[in-house]
Amino acid sequence: MFSFLTSVFQISEKYGIPVEKIVKIYKKSKKGILVNMDDNIIEHYSNEDTFILHVESMVEQGFKITLTEI
């Protein structure tokens, strides 16, 4: 099963961002709706969806990741 924690580890591994520094992951739909990713949202995530990944540094707090659907 794909989970929130799995996605954090995958993003960390692929983009070299320390796991402990990823503080939030959001998903932005084509309609502009922004939701905080959690296991319930990931349950409805489709592997065929295509996203632009935006990494924003939040000083001293870590990184905010936004997946924007295209």
pLDDT tens, position by position, 14-29? 999 999 999 889 989 8
Q: Which residue has the tokens 């932005």?
A: 28
What's the confidence (pLDDT) of residue 47?
A: 63
In Å, what is the CA distance from 16 to each residue of 8, 27, 55, 56, 69? 11, 20, 12, 14, 22
Measured between alpha carbons, how far is 23 from 14 in angstroms, rounded to an integer?
Answer: 17
Q: What single letter denotes the amino acid at residue 6?
A: T
Q: What is the pTM of this model?
A: 0.78
Question: For the chain, what is the radius of gyration of the CA atoms?
Answer: 12
CA distance linking residue 47 with residue 16, whole number of Å: 22
